Amino acid sequence: MIALILYTIVWILYSIVEGVREAYYFDNFPRPTKFNIHIIFMLQRILVLMYAVDVFHWTIGIVYACFFPFFHDGAYYFTRHMLNKGVYAKGFWDQPSKSSTALMDFPTWMRILLLGCGVIILTAIMIVW
């Protein structure tokens, strides 16, 4: 149980760090090349997520996939706004841009809903384990 709690904290921190890293990347390289770098980002996340699934259970993969957009996107929007006051005026709570090339973009309400689903599933897992 303690390992699951610690790994969940690590996953949340990883999600935030990824959002901040990508904010710096896209602030410095605002015009994407023909290659969509989001494919590499997605593969990296899948590999990290697979480790959690291997250590715990596939249901943890669902929980972490639900958690990721809330923390990652929020950190991304917040950091981009800190770097450039002209973008993402609502910071953490902003919406995806219309020019995004991300493979998956979620509006704020969906990020909150996914987080809530993840919390419910994680709570059920902790009760059962």
Query: Model's pTM, two decimal places?
Result: 0.90
Helical (H) or strand (E) element with 89: none
Span 58-110, pLDDT tens digits: 999 999 999 999 999 999 999 999 999 999 999 999 999 887 777 788 999 99
Q: pLDDT at position 53, please?
A: 87
Q: Is the pLDDT of residue 114 over 80?
A: yes
Average pLDDT, the chain: 91
Contact partners, residue 27, CB within 8 Å, separation at least 6: 80, 83, 84
Number of other CB atoms surrounding residue 2 within 10 Å: 6
Hey, is 126 helix, strand or coil? helix
Hey, is 95 helix, strand or coil? coil
Number of other CB atoms surrounding residue 64 within 10 Å: 23
- Find the angle CA(105)-CA(71)-CA(39) to the nearest 5 degrees: 45
What residue type is assigned to position 33 of the chain?
Answer: T
Judging by beta carbons within 10 Å of its beta carbon (0-12, 13-18, 19+), is residue 111 exposed, middle or buried?
buried
Q: pLDDT at position 30, please?
A: 67
Hey, is 101 helix, strand or coil? coil
Q: pLDDT at position 32, please?
A: 61
Answer yes or no: are the C-beta atoms of 125 and 63 closer than 8 Å: yes
